[in-house]
Chains A and B, each alone.
Chain A
Amino acid sequence: MDDRPILQTRNLSIYFGGLAAVNGVNLDVPYGKTVGLIGPNGSGKTTFFNLISGIYKPSDGEIRFKNENLTGCKSHQITRKGMARTFQNNRLFWQLSILDNVILGMYTKQQAGLIDVVFRYKRVRRELAECASRAMEILRYFSPELSEQPERLAADLSQGDRRRVEICRALASDPALLLLDEPSAGMSPEETDKLMEDIGKVKERFRDISIILIEHDMTVIESIADHVFVFNYGKKIAEGPYADISRNEEVLEAYLGKEADDA
């Protein structure tokens, strides 16, 4: 495998008005590893995700993915390069079934276009059927219960199941890099345990996959992340293994505040 990082950002920045939401971030995500991204609310973690997944255009800096400069590319182009993500507040296609949602994750794998739909529909059907069976396989792997009711609408699912479907949808595109934006948000402790199990399953099945995980729950970070980046006020203030980070003074300060500054 390549020694070079799968994702590199250099001086990555975005300004909203005068505010630097992400400010000069240099960050390397190694191949095949799971890295954690932590920091207080509003420290720019999700904005960072939105930058690398193409939802925002960076004001400055560079994004390299698999050694290719993707700065300024649009979301759908970046997805095609092999990056997939989930969202902080689940963004499923609510009026579509579980199965439709996961099949949409394979959108880039389907070749058939308008001409095929009109004139060579057999091809389209075959392709869709293949996608459907693969989607069912992924669903079954993560949740046999969900795979038994693939026609349920996404809107009718519980929080935990929504997150699970979203992860299945992201994995359906066979991504090289998976971005998980605070997957445990709004989950009960039991659901969080289940989630950690699921992430473990992801790594077991998709062995080469790299993951960036935004998380507030430090037990999740501790047990899953090989490496941790800490953000504060849009800047990366520290990085290293969790054990080091959890003793880093600057990090503790960011989370708990300095006593002298309490005012």
Chain B
Amino acid sequence: MKKGPAGLLLLLFLESLFFALVLVFLVVEEIIPILAVILGTVVLSFVLVKYERLNAFLQDLFSHYRKTAVAWGLIFVLALPFILHDSPYLIHLLFLSGLFAVLAIGLDFQVGSTHLVNFATAADYGVGAYTAALLAVNFGWSFWIILPLSGLAAALFGFLLGLPTMKTKTYYLSLVTIAVGLIIYLLLNNLSWTGGSDGIAGIPYPTIGGFSLGNSVRLFGMELPFQANFYYLVLGILFLEFVVARRLYQSKIGLAWNAIRDDEIAAACQGIDVTGSKIMAFYTNAFFDGLAGAIYAFNVGFIAPENFAFMLSVIVVTMVIIGGMGNVTGVIFGAVIMTLIPEKFQVVQSYRLWLFALIIIIMLLARPKGLFPQKTRQYA
């Protein structure tokens, strides 16, 4: 039954149902329906864990119509700004989700693949954002030149951060990264050339051939708010990172990272340069953080140290844990969920950290490998 038109229809129906749920979750603002959607998702995930046959059936269905399923998903993601063109704020939220997904996939190189629980994401991100802001404000360079430069600056920072961190392991490594994150935060607050606690203002919108990304676009008779431009920009970067992450995973580098995660000594005895590989995880992660930082700076036009505080690093770590360490798709889900949920609970803003803690504890108890665990590599 599953390898016919009926199967295909079922798949498209299920996927559309999922998209509809996402939309409801995005649009609705009352707390009760939101809670219902969240609860429903949790129950569904438990059902899938409990009934393995159903789970296997769905996975089979998905992998059989993989291309169609992905294409349908892509259409939905690309169409979102059109569906939501009346609410720029929601599109901005989606942009932020994408930005966090970029950070989370990068961090997964370390946390998921290599088990380096790095709490310095905010520092990498900040280095990227400040590089972008300083170059834009002081030299007036184009965004498209600044973007890769910010990535490289952050990568260099990640590399330098990696060097001393290599002397430590596990919790101690995390402590070192926390310390470095705090140092960067304090430096940004106190250096005069970064604007101190006032930050840097007046970063112009990026332009493409004279068209500023700060302008709205008329497409198919619809007025898309300027937030949509940034949404598509971040989608582009996310797509690139997704491809790179998948390739890294299915390469000797990804294998080496996993080997180091499971057993460092055995990894070294396979000829893996453990220190070098770990540092590579640091700078590849930092590179993408830097890109995200630059995009953020150009999106908001004004950055301050507060945007790069320790909490941001913690949030990105939770995204990786919830989504599924070592699973790129899962990490994207984790990032989107964890960006949207707090926004939806504005009412309970002050309990946000409680909520995060609760979600993490539940996840670690119920599904320690995340919503989407790492998959076994296929060689064919």
Interface residues as binary, A56-97 with B (CB distance below 8 Å gives 1, 0 otherwise): 000000000000000000111001100011010001111111
Within 8 A of A (CB), among B244-274: 244, 247-248, 250-253, 255-256, 258-259, 261-263, 265-274
Q: Which residues of B contact A173 (CB under 8 A)?
A: 270-271
B373 to chain A, nearest CB (A): 10
A170 to chain B, nearest CB (A): 8
Q: Which residues of A contact B250 (CB under 8 A)?
A: 124-125, 128
With both beta carbons as reference points, the residue of chain A lying nearest to B249 in the complex is identified as: A117
Task: Give me the interface of B with A, judged by CB distance under 8 Å.
Answer: 244, 247-248, 250-253, 255-256, 258-259, 261-263, 265-274, 280, 284, 374, 376-380
Task: Give me the interface of A with B, judged by CB distance under 8 Å.
Answer: 53-55, 74-76, 79-80, 84-85, 87, 91-97, 99-100, 103-105, 107-108, 110, 112-114, 117-118, 121, 124-125, 127-129, 132, 151, 153, 169, 173
B259 touches A96 (CB 8 A): yes
User: Which of B247, B261, B269, B378 touches A117 (beta carbons < 8 Å)?
Assistant: B247
B266 touches A80 (CB 8 A): no
User: Which of B251, B261, B262, B268 touches A128 (beta carbons < 8 Å)?
Assistant: B251
Give the distance in Å from the alpha carbon of A100 to the alpha carbon of B250 in the complex. Answer: 10
B151 to chain A, nearest CB (A): 13
B374 touches A128 (CB 8 A): no
With both beta carbons as reference points, the residue of chain B lying nearest to A113 in the complex is identified as: B253
- Whether A107 touches B255, Cβ cut-off 8 Å, given contacts A75-B265, A75-B268, is yes
A-B contacts, 9 of them at CB < 8 A, read A76-B273, A79-B268, A93-B262, A95-B258, A99-B377, A108-B270, A114-B253, A117-B247, A117-B253
State the 6 A-B residue pairs at the shortest beta-carbon distance, nearest first: A132-B379, A75-B268, A79-B271, A108-B271, A91-B266, A93-B262
B252 touches A74 (CB 8 A): no
Give the distance in Å from the alpha carbon of A165 to the alpha carbon of B86 in the complex. Answer: 59
B252 touches A128 (CB 8 A): yes
A153 to chain B, nearest CB (A): 8
User: Which of A74, A80, A85, A93 touches B263 (beta carbons < 8 Å)?
Assistant: A93
A169 touches B259 (CB 8 A): no
Give the distance in Å from the alpha carbon of A180 to the alpha carbon of B258 in the complex. Answer: 24
With both beta carbons as reference points, the residue of chain B lying nearest to A118 in the complex is identified as: B244
With both beta carbons as reference points, the residue of chain B lying nearest to A75 in the complex is identified as: B268
B252 touches A93 (CB 8 A): no
Give the distance in Å from the alpha carbon of A118 to the alpha carbon of B255 in the complex. Answer: 16
Give the distance in Å from the alpha carbon of A55 to the alpha carbon of B251 in the complex. Answer: 26
User: Which of A104, A114, A121, A128 touches B270 (beta carbons < 8 Å)?
Assistant: A104
Q: Which residues of A contact B379 (CB under 8 A)?
A: 99, 103, 128-129, 132
Give the distance in Å from the alpha carbon of A95 to the alpha carbon of B247 in the complex. Answer: 19
A105 to chain B, nearest CB (A): 6
Give the distance in Å from the alpha carbon of A116 to the alpha carbon of B368 in the complex. Answer: 33
B117 to chain A, nearest CB (A): 16
With both beta carbons as reference points, the residue of chain B lying nearest to A124 in the complex is identified as: B251
User: Which of A55, A100, A110, A117 touches B377 (beta carbons < 8 Å)?
Assistant: A100
Q: Which residues of B contact A113 (CB under 8 A)?
A: 253
Q: Which residues of B contact A105 (CB under 8 A)?
A: 270
B248 to chain A, nearest CB (A): 6
A97 touches B262 (CB 8 A): no
Give the distance in Å from the alpha carbon of A151 to the alpha carbon of B252 in the complex. Answer: 17
Q: Which residues of A contact B269 (CB under 8 A)?
A: 53, 55, 75-76, 79, 84-85, 91
- Whether A112 touches B251, Cβ cut-off 8 Å, given contacts A76-B272, A95-B262, is yes
Give the distance in Å from the alpha carbon of A131 to the alpha carbon of B274 in the complex. Answer: 21
With both beta carbons as reference points, the residue of chain B lying nearest to A93 in the complex is identified as: B262
A47 to chain B, nearest CB (A): 14
B42 to chain A, nearest CB (A): 26
Q: Which residues of A contact B280 (CB under 8 A)?
A: 114
A104 touches B255 (CB 8 A): yes
Q: Which residues of B contact A169 (CB under 8 A)?
A: 270
User: Which of A97, A107, A151 touches B256 (beta carbons < 8 Å)?
Assistant: A107
Q: Which residues of B contact A127 (CB under 8 A)?
A: 252
Give the distance in Å from the alpha carbon of A114 to the alpha carbon of B380 in the complex. Answer: 22
User: Which of B247, B255, B263 touches A100 (beta carbons < 8 Å)?
Assistant: B255
Q: Which residues of A contact B251 (CB under 8 A)?
A: 112, 117, 121, 124, 128
With both beta carbons as reference points, the residue of chain A lying nearest to B258 in the complex is identified as: A96
With both beta carbons as reference points, the residue of chain A lying nearest to B283 in the complex is identified as: A114
- Whether A93 touches B258, Cβ cut-off 8 Å, given contacts A118-B247, A129-B379, A169-B270, is yes
A166 to chain B, nearest CB (A): 9
Give the distance in Å from the alpha carbon of A79 to the alpha carbon of B273 in the complex. Answer: 10
Give 19 A-B pairs besides A96-B258, A173-B270 with Cβ atoms closer than 8 angstroms: A55-B265, A74-B268, A75-B268, A84-B269, A85-B269, A91-B266, A93-B259, A93-B266, A95-B374, A96-B262, A99-B379, A100-B255, A105-B270, A107-B271, A112-B251, A118-B244, A127-B252, A151-B378, A169-B270
Q: Which residues of B contact A132 (CB under 8 A)?
A: 379
Q: Which residues of A contact B267 (CB under 8 A)?
A: 93, 104
Q: Which residues of B contact A85 (CB under 8 A)?
A: 269
Q: Which residues of B contact A128 (CB under 8 A)?
A: 250-252, 379
With both beta carbons as reference points, the residue of chain B lying nearest to A55 in the complex is identified as: B265
Give the distance in Å from the alpha carbon of A114 to the alpha carbon of B274 in the complex. Answer: 15
Q: Which residues of B contact A76 (CB under 8 A)?
A: 268-274
Q: Which residues of A contact B272 (CB under 8 A)?
A: 76, 104, 107
- Whether A112 touches B252, Cβ cut-off 8 Å, given contacts A80-B271, A117-B247, is yes
A107 touches B270 (CB 8 A): yes
